[in-house]
């Protein structure tokens, strides 16, 4: 009897699997079942597919608004981290995965443009966006959001220890900040790369290597990703069990400390340290994928992303700043996520030309 129960279970789960599989083959939208129950729809909504990195996020109501406006079904595919996502888009250029791709940042901009996988689109909304964000003159990639990689410090820790907050990048190699900083590996982490680029821009090439040597001697901790650095080692992010009061993170991390607090705090425990020319400006772009069958919808989506509704949704969903100045920032961002005035400057072409060499040299120095 048992055996039959077992085999029945197997059969059932197999059947369920197949059903699930059939239902999910792209084409019919996932909610097909629900539709079938209703009266025949006047017009079958088409599906617009957006591919992005795994950190893409947007509000339910914002998506609903877009879907309603254009009678479209919106689908998002996560392609891994930012680097993986772009590479997968390049690899699939002959049979595109999506109509629109979001998530190329300025460190990957040159690679993306060279791969020639995006269609130019001069959105009318570009007019509103400051020129400093428009890094592609042909508008194949349009800026959507931007952020700053900086150093976050545990305000209370420094108060308690009676040590002043570091003010410059050079401060980080001073003995009083020994063993306090956790950074990410630039080979595997996007903020890690941004911070490496910051030091390249600030100290010059090969001066940055001396800085890293000194940093290594000053017991810097390197993790492979942002999550480990922030949640495991950063004293604030780990809820007190970490032992590094300084972390490479974003200027928008302090608001999150209040938004996702558990004790009702109104002021974040981490503060931004934005040393002069010591932050890295990241701009994220969206592009219409070459070979899309839904060019007009794709353009509509790009417009939608640049318009106020989506732009105002950005801060609390993805913890970056909108590029459209019309978009109002949440109060917490205004208060605690001040925008650095002089981020380091490093042109995308230079980044692209040297990224491999810089990472390699950095790795060699850190492994010495």
Partner 1 sequence: MRRTHPLLYLLYLLPLLFLAAFYFYPLLAIFRISFAPEGRWTLTGIAETVQRPLFWQVLWFTTWQAAASAGLTLVAGLPLAYIFARYEFPGKPLLRALTTLPFVMPTVVVATAFTALVGPSGLLNIWLQALFDLPRPPLRLLGTVWIILLAHVFYNVGVVVRLVGSFWAHLNPHLEEAAAVLGADPARRWWTVTFPLLVPSTVAAGLLVFLFCFTSFGVVLILGGLRYATLEVEIYRQAVSLFNLPVAAFLSLVQILLTFAIMALYTRIQRRASLPLEFRPAQGVARAPRQRGEWLLVSGGLVAGLAFLLAPLLALAWRSFTLGDQGFTLQYYRELAVNRYGSAFFVPPMTAVGNSLLVAAGVVVLGLFLGTASAYLLARPRSRLAALLDPVFLLPLGTSAVTLGFGYIVAMGPWRASLWLVPMAHTLIAAPFVVRALLPALRGLDPRLREAAAVLGASPARVWWTVDVPLLRSAAIVAAVFAFTISLGEFGATLLLSRPDFPTMPVVIYRALGQPGLLNYGKALAMSTLLMAVAAAGIVVIERFRLDAVSEL
Taking CB under 8 A as the rule, does residue 217 contact partner 1? no
Candidate residues 156, 300, 316, 329; the one interacting with partner 1 per rule CB under 8 A: 316
Taking CB under 8 A as the rule, does residue 349 contact partner 1? no
**How many angstroms separate the Cα of 133 from the Cα of each of 201, 304, 350?**
19, 18, 17
Stretch that binds partner 1, among 37-45, 157-165, 258-266, 304-312 (CB under 8 A): 258-266
| Min CB(329)–partner 1 separation in Å | 15
Candidate residues 120, 204, 206, 239; the one interacting with partner 1 per rule CB under 8 A: 239
Which residues neighbour 9 within 8 Å (Cβ) at sequence distance 6 or greater?
A: none
Candidate residues 170, 205, 232, 338; the one interacting with partner 1 per rule CB under 8 A: 232
| Min CB(102)–partner 1 separation in Å | 14
Candidate residues 170, 171, 205, 228; the one interacting with partner 1 per rule CB under 8 A: 228
Asked whether the CA dihedral 216, 218, 219, 222 is positive or negative, the reply is negative
User: 54 to 113, contacts with partner 1 by CB under 8 A?
Assistant: 54-55, 57-63, 75-81, 83-84, 87-88, 90-92, 95, 97, 111
User: 123 to 162, contacts with partner 1 by CB under 8 A?
Assistant: none
| Min CB(362)–partner 1 separation in Å | 9
User: 176 to 195, contacts with partner 1 by CB under 8 A?
Assistant: 185-188, 193
Taking CB under 8 A as the rule, does residue 240 contact partner 1? yes
Stretch that binds partner 1, among 3-11, 131-139, 163-171, 299-307 (CB under 8 A): 3-11
Stretch that binds partner 1, among 24-32, 34-42, 195-203, 321-329 (CB under 8 A): 24-32
| Min CB(126)–partner 1 separation in Å | 25
Contact in structure between 269 and 149 (CB atoms under 8 Å): no
| Min CB(248)–partner 1 separation in Å | 12
Going by the DSSP 8-state scheme, the letter that residue 28 receives in this structure is S
Residue 251 to residue 274: CA distance in whole angstroms: 8
Beta carbon nearer to partner 1, 61 or 122 = 61
Candidate residues 260, 293, 296, 331; the one interacting with partner 1 per rule CB under 8 A: 260
**How many angstroms separate the Cα of 3 from the Cα of each of 16, 97, 298?**
20, 43, 53
Beta carbon nearer to partner 1, 129 or 314 = 314
∠ Cα 86 80 195 (to 5°): 75
Which residues neighbour 287 within 8 Å (Cβ) at sequence distance 6 or greater?
A: 100, 101, 102, 104, 112, 117, 118, 119, 140, 141, 142
Beta carbon nearer to partner 1, 283 or 359 = 359
**How many angstroms separate the Cα of 106 from the Cα of each of 82, 127, 226, 316?**
11, 20, 18, 22
| Min CB(324)–partner 1 separation in Å | 19
Stretch that binds partner 1, among 160-168, 243-251, 276-284, 321-329 (CB under 8 A): 243-251
Beta carbon nearer to partner 1, 193 or 289 = 193
What do you get for the CA distance between the two ends of the chain, in Å? 65
The number of residues that bind partner 1 (CB under 8 A) is 87
Residue 54 main-chain phi, psi, to 5 deg: -70, -10
Residue 181 to residue 154: CA distance in whole angstroms: 11
Beta carbon nearer to partner 1, 119 or 365 = 365
Bond preceding residue 70 cis, omega within 30 of 0: no
**How many angstroms separate the Cα of 120 from the Cα of each of 99, 101, 117, 136?**
13, 13, 10, 10
Residue 119 to residue 138: CA distance in whole angstroms: 9
User: 30 to 59, contacts with partner 1 by CB under 8 A?
Assistant: 30, 49, 51, 54-55, 57-59
């Amino acid at each position: 009897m048992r055996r039959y129960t077992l085999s029945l279970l197997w059969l059932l789960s197999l059947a369920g699997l197949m059903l699930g599989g059939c239902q999910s083959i792209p084409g019919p939208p996932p909610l097909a079942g629900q539709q079938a129950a209703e009266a025949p729809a006047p017009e079958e909504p088409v599906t617009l597919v957006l591919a992005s990195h795994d950190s893409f996020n947007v509000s339910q109501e914002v998506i609903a608004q877009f879907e309603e406006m254009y009678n479209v079904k919106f689908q998002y595919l996560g392609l891994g981290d930012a680097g993986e996502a772009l590479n997968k888009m390049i690899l699939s250029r002959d049979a595109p995965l999506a109509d629109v791709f979001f998530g190329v940042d300025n460190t990957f901009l040159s690679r993306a443009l060279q791969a020639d996988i995006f269609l130019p689109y001069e959105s009318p909304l570009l007019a509103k966006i400051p020129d400093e964000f428009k890094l592609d003159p042909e508008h194949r990639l349009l800026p959507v959001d931007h952020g700053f990689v900086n150093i976050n410090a545990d305000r209370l820790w420094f108060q308690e220890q009676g040590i002043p907050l570091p003010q410059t990048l050079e401060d980080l190699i001073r003995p009083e900040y020994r063993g306090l900083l956790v950074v990410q590996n630039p080979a595997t982490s996007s903020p890690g790369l941004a911070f490496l680029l910051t030091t390249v821009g600030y100290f010059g090439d090969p001066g940055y290597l001396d800085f890293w040597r000194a940093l290594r001697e000053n017991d810097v901790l390197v993790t492979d990703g942002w999550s480990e650095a922030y949640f495991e080692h950063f004293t604030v992010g780990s809820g007190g069990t970490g032992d590094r009061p300084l972390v490479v993170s974003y200027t928008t991390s302090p608001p999150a400390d209040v938004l996702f607090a558990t004790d009702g705090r109104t002021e974040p425990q981490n503060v931004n340290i934005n040393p002069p020319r010591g932050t890295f400006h990241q701009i994220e772009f969206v592009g219409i994928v070459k070979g899309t069958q839904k060019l007009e919808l794709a353009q509509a989506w790009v417009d939608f992303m640049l318009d106020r509704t989506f732009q105002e949704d950005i801060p609390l969903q993805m913890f970056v700043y909108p590029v459209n100045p019309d978009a109002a920032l949440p109060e917490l961002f205004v208060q605690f996520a001040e925008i650095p005035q002089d981020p380091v400057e490093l042109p995308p072409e230079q980044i692209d030309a040297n990224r491999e060499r810089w990472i390699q040299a950095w790795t060699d120095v850190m492994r010495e």
